[in-house]
Each structure stands twice: as structure tokens, then as C-alpha cells.
Amino acid sequence: MFPIAQNLKDVRAAIAAAAHRARRDPGSVRLVAVSKTVDLSLIRAAVDAGQDLFGENYLQEARDKIAVLGRPVSWHLVGHLQSNKAREAVALFDLIHAVDRLKLARALDAAAARQGKVQDVLIQVNQAGEATKSGVDPAAAPALLQEVARLPHLRVLGLMTMPPWFPDPEAARPYFQALRALQDHLRGLTGLPLTELSMGMSGDFAVAVEEGSTLVRVGTAIFGSRG
Ligand SMILES: *Cc1c(COP(=O)(O)O)cnc(C)c1O
């Protein structure tokens, strides 16, 4: 079997096993194949192996790939986004994972209004307060969510986080638990459904699924190292 197909099979099996351990329906977890810097031929191999959801970080790169591969597959923006790129992001992506400030949310709302679209978004939370990572401080998340929820052309589906990197995936578990707890708190506070939790990458997606992830963002475990 082509390595990409085998890798996908292994990742899906690991997701299903983690879901079963947590008594969750494996169908409640979607696999976002993060294809930043990955060659078109490898993405095609993933599509051929049945993968229908991809995550990208860079607009220019995503635009070129989407132009070729089109929309039989779904595209998510998983990385940081500048407000001045909102128009293009709204044109390209079904879900934007990393909304972390009101200025960006307003730019996305305005772009979506012009494009006649309601844009699905997640709020990115920076739980460890890492200066190198984007994301709203957990304490500021309720206020941001309430502002964003008022924007008529955005629909907030849930939260996203990227914990610090640890060699042992177990060390990420408290961050995943904290994100889920924050989501439960925000659901109670706002009455919004908030069904999506974007958490877990190649090194720790199984732990994230055990803790309630609905969107795992996996790159290297599918496509190999980005070099
Ligand atoms: C690159 C990236 C991923 C995938 O990381 P891997 O460790 O290769 O699985 C997930 N989420 C975000 C936001 C990324 O930038």
C-alpha cells in the first residue's frame, strides 16, 4: 500500500481506538489532514485513500492547491490569520480555526457579508500563555466569544488550542481537559451550541480524542516530516 494510505489507515485506527477508550463514537471525531508545505501529489494520494478534509496554514499556498484539487474535499485554515487577509480566507475555507481577536473577527464578518456567506469559525485559546503562540487568554475568552457571537456573518462552532510541545503526549492532557472545561463553561454562559473542539496533532491526537476532541489536526503522521 502507498505509505500515505497506510499512514491514514493507522491514524484513523488510533483515533477509533482512543474514542472507544473514552466511550465515544469514533464518528464524532473528524481528521483534518494538515497539508501545509506538502506536495500536491501526496495530497492527491490522500484524497485517493478517502481523505476528504485538509488543513492549510498559508493562504497563497492554499489558493494554489484549491485551484487544482477543487472542492470535492473540504478545506480548513488551521494557522494564524492576519486581518488584511480576511477576504481571501473567507473565499477559500469552510472553517477558520484560529480566530483570537475582535479585529480579525470583524474583518472576517465584513468579508463574509460581502461574499454572501456565513463563515464558520473557532476561537483559538492560548492556555499556557506562550508568547510565541497566538490565541486568546482563557480569562478573556468569554468576552471575546460574546462579541464574536454578535457578528451576523460569523458562526462560532467551538474552540481550538495548541498546547506547548512535550515529548510525552500525556503532558498535554491537562490542556485538553482545560479546553473542554472552558467550552462547557462558555456553553452555559452564552447558550451557544459550541460543539467543536479542535485539539490534538501528530504527537498527541489520541490523548486529545480521549479528552473530547472533535477535530484532530494531523500533518506529519500522515505525510511524513516537513523537512
Ligand atoms: C502544522 C500544524 C498542525 C500539524 O502538526 P503535526 O505535528 O505535523 O501533526 C496542526 N495544527 C496547526 C495549527 C499546525 O500549524
Residue with cell 500536491: 40
CATH no. for 3-223: 3.20.20.10
Using a 10 angstrom Cβ sphere, with 0-12 exposed, 13-18 middle and 19 or more buried, the burial of residue 25 is exposed
Residue 227: per-residue pLDDT: 67
Tell me which residue of 203, 201, 104 sits closest to 161, measured CA to CA: 201
Tell me which residue of 41, 30, 33 sits closest to 78, measured CA to CA: 33
Residue 81 corresponds to which amino acid?
Answer: L
- Partners of residue 30 on adjacent β-strands: 215
Residue 70: per-residue pLDDT: 87
Contact indicator for 144, 151 with CB cutoff of 8 Å: no
For helices 3-21 and 40-48, give the axis angle rounded to 10 degrees: 60
Q: Cβ neighbours of residue 181 under 8 Å, at least 6 residues apart? A: none
- Residues of the chain with pLDDT below 70 are 1, 227
Residue 226: per-residue pLDDT: 84
Residue 199: per-residue pLDDT: 98
Best probe residue, ligand 1, of 31, 34, 93, 216 (max atoms within 8 Å of C-beta): 34
Residue 71: per-residue pLDDT: 83
Number of neighbouring beta carbons within 10 Å of residue 67:
9
Tell me which residue of 30, 159, 181 sits closest to 97, measured CA to CA: 159
Tell me the per-residue pLDDT of 63-121, one tens digit each, with 9 for 90 and over: 999 999 988 899 999 999 999 999 999 999 999 999 999 999 999 999 999 999 999 99
Residue 86: per-residue pLDDT: 98
For residue 221, give the ligand 1 atom closest to its CA: 9
Contact indicator for 213, 197 with CB cutoff of 8 Å: yes
Best probe residue, ligand 1, of 134, 217, 218, 223 (max atoms within 8 Å of C-beta): 217
Task: Give the number of residues written for the chain.
Answer: 227
Residue 138: per-residue pLDDT: 97
For residue 205, give the ligand 1 atom closest to its CA: 9
Residue 1: per-residue pLDDT: 60
Pocket flag, ligand 1, residue 220 (CB < 6 Å): yes
